[in-house]
Structure 1
Amino acid sequence: MDDLSTIRSEALGAVAAAADLGALDAVRVAALGKKGSVTGLMKTLGGLAPDARREFGARVNQLKSEIEAALEARKASLGASALADRLAAEKVDVSLPTRPDFANWGQGTLHPIGQVMDELAAIFGEMGFAWAEGPDIEDDWHNFTALNIPPDHPARQMQDTFYLPPRADGTPMVLRTHTSPVQARTMLDKAVQKMLADGGSLRVIVPGRTFRLDSDATHTPMFHQVEGLVIDRTTHMGHLKGCLVDFCRAFFEVDEFPIRFRPSYFPFTEPSAELDIGCSWKDGELRIGAGDSWLEILGCGMVHPRAIANCGLDPAVYQGFAFGMGIDRIAMLKYGIPDLRSFFDSDLRWLRHYGFSALEWPSLTQGLGR
């Protein structure tokens, strides 16, 4: 019993005196390690009578628990002190003047994608469109079914879509392949449906990230799109054409801008069209505007009656148009960026060359006829 008292007082005293975590670990090894003092006591139990072994074993276990508790408490205290010392040593005085070498870094710039999003907001805002957003991770119904995309459509295949683990109820989940699911979510909104029932008009643009299994100079697995949607009782194809013609002239800042619409097919619009803009190639350089060639930049059409019905509206009462385009693509065309992959390289030299001043607000009213 005297050994127990001696070991207890020595061990607890050493724990209290440990100046750092290294010293504390040495105390732990000396008391509880394979050759430690407490471990040595445990080894003597085999030579005791049963009653004495039971009593002495209980006291040794109690001593072991006391030492372990003291070690944990001291470890927490030393850890807190070490963290406080580190924070004090590494603190930065943010009120200090900028260092001379920092001043040579220059002013930061806006990424071209952010700039083009600002331009889209300015142009379509002039036309009365509101900004809408939605989740990047979508369920299969909003991404495909609500938009009249049948189960056997190629867009649903694994080579085009990033599929995620399903929800607990078995609902398939995907990284959205386009921003069109937000159109469905907007039409399903009860406040929007009431507004339409009261004779209002829905006008939204939906910029955001989208994901598809594709990668080359003009495609990346993650890219940006913008969708436009108008729903009311009287909108027709002529309104769609006028809206997009005004947009192209304003965005590319060309008044006399050759534009044509070609018949096409999309599951969620009928009739559907693709919009081409005039261009020319000279000495390997693409020039936007009057020329002898055409370049497709977006798809559009009247919203399919099934898509309207899937979203809780009566297609016999409501109609509208929709369009979608790649933000990265139109940024490349407008600002002469040859490779889409450069958008995501985080190369400061590229950003300094193609970036925009943070105070450069787009003033794009040319071509809007206002």
Structure 2
Amino acid sequence: MLEKIDELLVEVSNFSSVNKDEIEQFRIKFNGKKGILNDIFAKFKEVPNEQKKEFGQKINTLKQAVESKLDELKNATSSNIILEKEDLTRPGFPSELGTRHPINLVKNRIIEIFKSIGFAVADGPEIEDDWHNFTALNLPEYHPARDMQDTFFIETNPDILLRTHTSSVQIRYMEENQPPIRILSPGRVFRNEAISSRSHCIFHQIEGLYIDENVSFADLKQTIQFFTTELFGKSKIRMRPSYFPFTEPSAEVDVYWGLNSETDYRITKGTGWLEIMGCGMVDSAVLKNVNIDADKYSGYAFGMGIERIVMLLYQMSDIRMFFENDKRMLEQFSGL
């Protein structure tokens, strides 16, 4: 009998498994009601008195060995279950959540304002052809106004370029749609300019276009008045005569920022006025280029640089910060 217990001790010691069913079978075999331990304890009374001490010690050794083995197997199984539930493809360190970029924050706010008065959003390609970027906008080849926009041309094809304004989106939309038209065209534009604290070769524009019967300059002014009041909380504006090839008459729009602080004096150069956009009535030549009846329809257009608006709203002095993705800067907008 003692030899049998020694064999069982070896069996217990050698048993190993992470399979739940196999472990349960092992438990039943040794610790079940009809298991080996209960059977051995039942036979204990048949053991001669002179052997009871040695026999009892062996039984206790086997019992402890079984209990230790079951605890060991239970812990190993629990660890394995946890590992199975864990996503082993996750990074070792938690990923920090990002924030919305200030350009997107302001762009979305501008879109919301104009959507509230009926404007829809239109999109177009960043790589354009000469017709949509220049010629259709009353800028034929060799027109001196082309020099106002230093263009990135594709070297292998001089007719293909990176768009210099989102007005090209308006041309594409008018080619495919008849009035009434009321759209916004936000997006990136590219100009071959030196990078500094006030300018960049990449920036963002948002342009608006409204074409319908009997649209007047007064309608344009009222739209801009509404926009500046909603975005800046400032309703005093002025419109100065200007020149754009695709609008006639044309104007620059200034908003009265005020002179309430030293910063106000600096950004307005002591005048209290800030230029925010260009605008004007759509030139009849542009309407004819997209097969819209210029005798029946009229319209206005406006455009602004989003970076400039962001710099005004958040008092930022360097446009390069928008493209460097410095976490210290971006984290300041986490609550917006």
TM over 0.5: yes
Give the corresponding residue for 2:119: 129
Partner of 1:172: helix, strand, or coil?
strand
Equivalents in 1 of 2:300, 2:86: separation in Å? 52
Matched, 1:175 2:162: yes
Q: Is the 8 A contact 1:279 1:292 kept in 2?
A: no
Q: Is the 8 A contact 1:155 1:161 kept in 2?
A: no
Please show how residues 148-163 of structure 1 align to structure 2 within 5 Å. 148-157=138-147, 160-163=150-153
Give the corresponding residue for 2:252: 274
Give the corresponding residue for 1:227: 207
The one of 84, 89, 110 aligned to 1:120: 110
Letter in 2 for 1:343: F
Deviation at 1:151, TM superposition (A): 2.5
Structure 2 unaligned spans of 5+: 1-84
Give the corresponding residue for 2:238: 260
Give the corresponding residue for 2:10: none
Letter in 1 for 2:172: R
Letter in 2 for 1:102: P
Q: Is the 8 A contact 2:280 2:300 kept in 1?
A: yes
Over residues 273-306 of structure 1, what are the superposed CA-to-partner deviations in whole Å (9 max), with x where a residue is unaligned? 01001134566413799x8421111000000000
Deviation at 1:110, TM superposition (A): 0.4
Equivalents in 2 of 1:96, 1:182: separation in Å? 46
Cα pair distance change 1:159/1:310, threshold 3 Å? closer
Over residues 121-141 of structure 1, what are the superposed CA-to-partner deviations in whole Å (9 max), with x where a residue is unaligned? 210110100000100011011
Equivalents in 2 of 1:101, 1:141: separation in Å? 51
Over residues 298-347 of structure 1, what are the superposed CA-to-partner deviations in whole Å (9 max), with x where a residue is unaligned? 00000000000011111111110000000111011111111101000111
Q: Is the 8 A contact 1:204 1:229 kept in 2?
A: yes
The one of 237, 240, 246 aligned to 2:217: 237
Most deviating of 299-308 and 330-339 = 330-339
Equivalents in 2 of 1:306, 1:102: separation in Å? 58
Equivalents in 1 of 2:154, 2:293: separation in Å? 33
Give the corresponding residue for 1:300: 279
Q: Is the 8 A contact 1:115 1:356 kept in 2?
A: no
Q: Is the 8 A contact 2:181 2:209 kept in 1?
A: yes
Q: Is the 8 A contact 2:145 2:245 kept in 1?
A: no
Matched, 1:144 2:123: no
Give the corresponding residue for 1:329: 308
Over residues 164-203 of structure 1, what are the superposed CA-to-partner deviations in whole Å (9 max), with x where a residue is unaligned? 1355xxx6111000000111111100xx22xx3xxxx210
Structure 1 unaligned spans of 5+: 1-92, 361-370
Partner of 1:174: helix, strand, or coil?
strand
Give the corresponding residue for 1:367: none
Cα pair distance change 1:222/1:124, threshold 3 Å? same
Most deviating of 208-217 and 299-308 = 208-217
Q: Is the 8 A contact 2:149 2:164 kept in 1?
A: no
Matched, 1:314 2:293: yes
Equivalents in 1 of 2:219, 2:149: separation in Å? 36
Root-mean-square deviation over aligned CA pairs? 2.7
Partner of 2:214: helix, strand, or coil?
coil
User: TM-score scaled by structure 2?
Assistant: 0.68
Over residues 241-277 of structure 1, what are the superposed CA-to-partner deviations in whole Å (9 max), with x where a residue is unaligned? 010110011111x1x5321011111000001001001
Letter in 1 for 2:161: V
Q: Is the 8 A contact 1:274 1:300 kept in 2?
A: yes
User: TM-score scaled by structure 1?
Assistant: 0.62
